[in-house]
Structure 1
Amino acid sequence: MAQEPQGANGGTELGRFLRARRAQVTPEHAGIGVGPGWRRTPGLRREELAALAGVSVDYYIRLERGKEHRPSHAVIDALAAALRLDANERGHLFAIATRATSMLPKPSVVPDECRPAPGTDLLLERLRPYPARVLSRTLDLLACNPGGLRTLPGIEDWPVQRRNVIRYVFLHPAARALFPDWKLMTSGCVARLRAVAGREPDAPDVTELVAELATASTDFAWLWDRYEVRPFTGTSKTLHHPQVGTMTLTVQAMQIEGTAGHRLVTYLAEPGTPDHDALVLLDR
């Protein structure tokens, strides 16, 4: 029987998700009485989660260890309820469980899929002075106009192939000062990358980026192990820019048709406002 791809850190994606989320649910939160004394397990024990979900301990252990590949819809639904998952997390669990059941390999991204769509340069030019950039599904910076580059101060000093928003947020020394909501930004970046890894755990660009960041950033490694999948859904962004000062901008993002998950991200400000004046300065 074909085996589910093992992903970047060993084990199956379904098993990693279950382990990470189990560690974050306390017995008290799950309504389980706990006697006095110290618990070695930070969250629920395997047997506790199995009991809450109505499955045998042996079956649940096989799920975590990747030995069981065909969990039923009812089992996954029961586990989602026991883990107190929200709508995004529940959807992600069902997606990776479905993939484990189907055993269908996911195609890796080929070089042509990393190229911006035809007409991208013209679109980015037309959007000036508003900063705009085209990002891959793993947030590689594929194309941008002047403002789109300069709203990430210092990234222009990196080689083109290393220009990635997630890498910038975690590893560039300017990022913490640039983003006043840096912690929220980091969790959103990791959640987006987690969603991609759930669909394509063996994609080389995903596994290489995860391995690099997990080694270089303890913040990334901690967030990655928590396995949060809530996307950042903010519609505005405040930047403390070293050249033009503080700006609060409206953010619009949209998928680009005919690409492998490319998105166009644009920052906007009302003409005549200080924020718009700052964008004009960055565009020069």
Structure 2
Amino acid sequence: MPSDTVREDIRHFLTTRRARLTPKQAGLPDFGGRRQVSGLRRSEVAQLAAISVEYYTRLERGNVGGVSEEILDSLAAALQLDDVERAHLAALVRAANAPHHGADRDGGTSHVRGSLQQILDAMTGAAAFVRNAHLDVLATNRLARALYEEALDTDDQPPNLARFVFLDPRARRFYRDWRGIAHDAVGSLRTEAARTPGNTDLADLIDELATRSDEFAMRWDAHDVEYYRSGRQRFHHPAVGDLDLDYDALEIPADPGLAIVTYTLAPTAAYADVFRRLQATTTASKPANSPGRHAP
């Protein structure tokens, strides 16, 4: 990502965060009357961050050379950024101030060590797969293949969950909270784009999705960011019906950019019987190291 693009991302990120806050939410007096901007004015953000309007204006234009951690913390507090947004802003600032070193493919690795596949296969009571930061599914266990059979049923290899969410009509039925998963997918990709600004493979994926999906393009322009780490996912599986599962994304320190994603459910939880029916559908017909139907 060239430096001018990073500056544009900083500008859009700060303006969208400013636009979502009202004076009342920020603890400022609202004297009524018609406001000329959506959300806070630049002067109000500067007041809350205890910096000059001129300095905040410079930051919002992406001119962040020499900005201190203390200023970023003050700005994050003024705009009520959460931890993910604060980290995203810091990543954008680092990218803007770093020398351009050309293409960077970090986060898009497609190599999965054999020991990771063994870990997946040992998880017989959980659906588990390995994905990279581009949301490519690189390896699965049997239960994950049963759960994600539609997402893995693709000629694109490796299968990519963002492509499935936005380009495959089956995704809107499979994810009962499709809007939530769409928000998380875009937020995860935007977080990664700031972390690896020269990532040409990721840029190609984002361009493809924005070109082929108006919904993706709209959400990308919102500049929201997310970490997909834990929570509850609501599915409608074509074979067993509705199914709610707990998920955890476990980063792998030895393989930067890779994470093991698991889906589990307590034996006494709601949908436990449905989960057991899904487990009963698993067979030994597909090789253990094959995430999709045409894996290399």
Q: Deviations over 1:145-186 (max 9, x none)?
A: 343234234333422336211221222111121112222222
User: What SS is found at the alignment partner of 2:40?
Assistant: coil
Question: Tell me, what secondary structure is at the counterpart of 1:202?
Answer: coil
Matches within 5 A, 1:141-152: 141-152=137-148
Q: Return 258-267 or 212-221, whichever deviates more.
A: 212-221
1: CA distance, partners of 2:229 / 2:125: 24
User: Map of 1:1-284 to 2, 5 A cutoff?
Assistant: 5-7=3-5, 11-30=7-26, 31-37=28-34, 39=36, 41-103=37-99, 105=101, 108-109=104-105, 113-128=109-124, 130-161=126-157, 163-269=159-265, 273-283=273-283
Q: Give the letter aligned to residue 201 of structure 2.
A: D
8 Å Cα contact 1:138-1:193 kept in structure 2: yes
Deviations 1:182-203 (A, max 9, x none): 2222222222222211211221
Q: Secondary structure at the match of 1:154?
A: helix
Q: Could you tell me which amino acid in structure 1 is paired with residue 172 of structure 2?
A: R
User: Residue deviations 1:200-234, cap 9 Å, x none?
Assistant: 12211221222222233333233322322243444
Query: Retained in 1: the 8 A contact 2:248–2:261?
Result: yes
Distance change (3 Å), C-alpha of 1:134 and 1:189: same
> Matches of 1:67 and 1:270 in 2, distance apart?
50
Structure 1, unpaired ranges of 5+: none
**TM-score normalised by L of structure 1:** 0.83
Query: How far 1:38 moved relative to its partner?
Result: 5.6
Identity %: 33
Contact 2:130 2:138 in 1 (8 A): yes
Structure 2 residues without counterparts, runs of 5 or longer: 285-296
Which amino acid in 2 is paired with 1:62? Answer: R
Return the alpha-carbon distance in structure 2 between the equivalents of residues 254 and 262 of structure 1. 9
Structure 2 CA distance for partners of 1:270 and 1:89, relative to 1, 3 Å: closer
- Give the aligned residue type for 1:256: I
Q: Distance in 1 between matches of 2:147 and 2:157?
A: 18
Contact 1:49 1:82 in 2 (8 A): yes
CA deviation map 1:108-163 (0-9, x unaligned): 12699321123333333333464321100121111223432342343334223362
* CA–CA separation in structure 2 for the residues paired with 1:89 and 1:59: 21
SS state at 2:38 partner: coil
Which shifted more, 17-26 or 154-163? 154-163
Distance change (3 Å), C-alpha of 1:175 and 1:34: farther
Contact 2:107–2:132 (8 Å) recurs in 1: no
Q: Indicate how the Cα distance of structure 1 residues 112 and 79 shifts in structure 2: closer, same or farther if over 3 A, else same.
A: closer
Q: For residue 3 of structure 2, what is the amino acid of its counterpart?
A: P
Aligned residues of 1:46 and 1:57 also touching (Cα < 8 A): yes
Tell me, yes or no, if the aligned pair for 1:178 and 1:240 is still in contact at 8 Å. yes
**TM-score of the superposition, structure 2-length normalised?**
0.80
CA RMSD of aligned residues (A): 3.0
Contact 1:106 1:200 in 2 (8 A): no
